[in-house]
Amino acid sequence: MAPGGAAPGQDAGDTMKRGEDTTRGPWRHQVLVTPDGDDFLCRLEAMDDWLMRWKIMYRAVSLNGDNGAVRVCFREESLAHAFHEHLGGELVPPDAFAVALAANPLAGTEEPVAGAKELAAFALS
């Protein structure tokens, strides 16, 4: 199995259709960041700066049901907790679709994939 539960040559959406449990994938540790207040874009920049400074790999995804919020996904639980403690957001249970999206190679690379502009684009879409 490839990361996120998809078999090689298969995308994450196919995995979701088959109903496999992807909440055990590598990006299952998630913090939900809501677009509260006028300073949301400034908060996203601060989050991106902190993640880049500490060279923390993450993926950012936005789901229809999250009402404009951004899920910041981490490989390690300790990183999700550190993000939450330093920058806020809500530690949330893993969403299987978010895990699958984060694991999809088209969602990014092994480097931090979403800067403040990308996070803002998620939030504003």
- 98, two tokens: 């978010």
Return the H-helix or E-strand segment holding 94. none
Question: What single-letter DSSP state applies at residue 100?
Answer: H
Query: How does the average pLDDT of the chain come out, rounded?
Result: 75
70-74 and 90-92 as β-strands: parallel, antiparallel, unpaired?
Answer: unpaired
User: Any idea which fold 27-124 has?
Assistant: Alpha-Beta Plaits (3.30.70)
Q: For residues 105-120, give the mean pLDDT.
A: 52
Whole-model pTM over 0.85:
no
More confident residue, 119 or 50: 50
More confident residue, 19 or 21: 21
Report pLDDT for 78. Answer: 96
**Extents of the domains making up the chain:** 27-124
Q: For residues 71-99, give the mean pLDDT.
A: 94
Q: For residues 57-83, give the mean pLDDT.
A: 90
Q: Count how many Cα atoms sit within 13 Å of the Cα of residue 71 in the half-sphere of its side chain.
A: 24
Q: For residues 81-93, give the mean pLDDT.
A: 95
